[in-house]
A = this chain, B = another copy of it.
Amino acid sequence: MNPTIELLKSHRSIRKFKDQQIPRELFEELIRAGQSAATSSHVQAYTVIHVVNPESRARLAELAGGQPYVESASDFLVFCADMKRSTEAAERSGADVTRGMTEQLLVASVDVALMAQNVVIAAESAGLGICYIGGIRNNPQEVSELLKLPEHVYPVFGLCLGYPDQNPEVKPRLPLASILKQDVYDDSSDEALVAEFDDTMARYYRERTGGNKSTNWSEQLKPLFTSKLRAHMKEFLNKRGFGLK
């Protein structure tokens, strides 16, 4: 196993950060590393908003469902899927552009995720810790207004960055055999593999809490699916010009 693979396998989210700034040069290097990720048809369908204003940070921490590290991390980024820049460039070159296609939502959402993951790996390679903040999709309209996002741009997730002031364990993952299949999707062993993973996670929670937390993977997922998950997203995307056509 080489050092890069070791780095990848040592990832865990960091939610407590030292009061130490990331040098601007390093910060820009992380974003450039992000830009080097593969991009669909070279479209680079993303914009990163670096949120520096303290009031905006406090407001985003609230909007993300009360996540204080959004405010306390050294740096906070909002990764946006952006179909504005590229479609306008094509238009200026004479293209008759159709916007709002579902496929454009996918292209931009995948593009920004690949880019962000490169930023994350670069950050972790430089000794920084990170935490993705999907919670900005709790209130995506308010987030968009705060950041003055125009049409055809939507906030996909946030990212806290900073020097770690905690050292949590790496969280277990599903057995390889459950997520890797050969030639066809054969899930005949999946129930057994999930049961095995439930045991792993039960042990993990027990050990971390001195026996106080009795739960497992399947149990932890229940609240996520029992209510309608962020039921506002369809209408929100429509409003942002990602019309799901």
Which A residues fall within an 8 A CB radius of B?
Answer: 1-5, 7-11, 13, 28-33, 35-38, 40-44, 46-53, 56, 80, 82, 84-98, 101-104, 106-107, 109-110, 113-114, 116-118, 120-122, 125-126, 130, 132, 134, 137, 147-150, 153, 156-157, 170-171, 173-174, 176, 178-187, 190-191, 194, 198, 217-222, 224-231, 233-234, 237, 244-245
Q: A111's closest neighbor in chain B, by CB?
A: B113
Is the CB–CB distance between B118 and A8 below 8 Å? Answer: yes
A194 close to B85 (CB less than 8 A): yes
Candidates B92, B106, B190, B230; contact of A101 at CB < 8 Å: B230
Contact A237 B113, CB 8 Å, known A9-B32, A226-B96: no
Q: Considering the chains assembled together, what is the distance between the CA atoms of A11 and B33 in angstroms?
A: 9
Residue in A48, A106, A114 whose Cβ sees the most chain B Cβ within 10 Å: A106
Neighbour of A148 across the interface among B5, B89, B185, CB < 8 A: B185
Q: Does B122 contact A90, Cβ atoms closer than 8 Å?
A: no
- Rounded to whole angstroms, the CA-CA distance of A231 and B218 in the bound complex is 36
Partner of A182, one of B40, B50, B103, B227: B50
- Tell me which residues across on chain B come within 8 A of A38, comparing CB atoms: 11, 13, 120, 130, 132
CB distance from A74 to the nearest CB of B (A): 15
Alpha-carbon distance between A44 and B173 when the two chains are bound, in angstroms: 8
B5 touches A41 (CB 8 A): no
A110 and B107 form a contact (CB under 8 A): no
5 additional A-B residue pairs with CB within 8 Å, beyond A97-B226, A110-B134? A8-B37, A35-B179, A44-B173, A102-B234, A148-B185
Question: A121 near B120 (CB under 8 angstroms)?
Answer: no
Interface contact A176-B32, CB-CB below 8 Å: yes
Q: Complex Cα distance A54/B145, Å?
A: 51
Given the interface pairs A4-B122, A5-B126, A184-B147, the reply to whether A179 lies near B47 with Cβ below 8 Å is yes
State the CA gap A191–B91 with chains docked (Å): 12
Docked-complex contact A102 and B180, CB < 8 angstroms = no
Contact sample, A vs B, 10 pairs, CB 8 Å cutoff:
A8-B33, A32-B173, A37-B117, A41-B221, A47-B180, A49-B183, A85-B187, A93-B222, A103-B229, A104-B229
Hey, which chain B residues are within 8 Å of A191, CB to CB? 92
